[in-house]
Amino acid sequence: YEFLREKRGGNEKTGEIEGAEDKAAMISKYRKTDPLCRETFGIYAKYYGRCAKNFVLETLATGGLYIAGGIAAKNREIFVSPEFQAEFLNAAKQRPILERTPVRVIANYDVSIIGACNAAIDLSHVQSNDL
């Protein structure tokens, strides 16, 4: 956003965004109505798609890519945007793999604590069996 603002100049939302404690939340808030915020999200979606594609191809995560985190959960439309989709599928020879790989957003913020609890339970079973 700051790069685009420097290149294109500010507008009526710039002061509010610049003065905000959580600039990312403000940019997200105005992503549909403010041209700079919309363009920022388009660029963000494009590069998120590129990273997601690279991860799927490097790990062969063909069963699905599960994305967690606040930005993803609050802005799920990124993952169906034309910018994300075009970049995610931009791999000539591997496109069929990517087309079959679902991309899912985890909306449950407790997923990390659930995973940690499951790991602790698994670890306790391993340690007790070693005795």
Q: Is 103 helix (H, G, I), strand (E, B) or coil?
A: strand
| Residue 33 DSSP code | T
pLDDT reported for residue 88 = 98
Q: Which of 2-6, 39-43, 67-71 has the lowest mean pLDDT?
A: 67-71
- With CA atoms as reference, report the closest residue to 10 among 30, 25, 85, 21: 30
- The answer to whether residues 65 and 55 touch, using CB atoms and an 8 Å cutoff, is yes
Quick one: average pLDDT of 62-85? Answer: 91
Quick one: average pLDDT of 70-76? Answer: 86
Strand residue runs (E) in 54-93: 65-67
- Please name the amino acid found at residue 89: L
- The answer to whether residues 78 and 45 touch, using CB atoms and an 8 Å cutoff, is yes
Quick one: average pLDDT of 72-87? Answer: 93
Q: Higher pLDDT residue, 50 or 8? A: 50
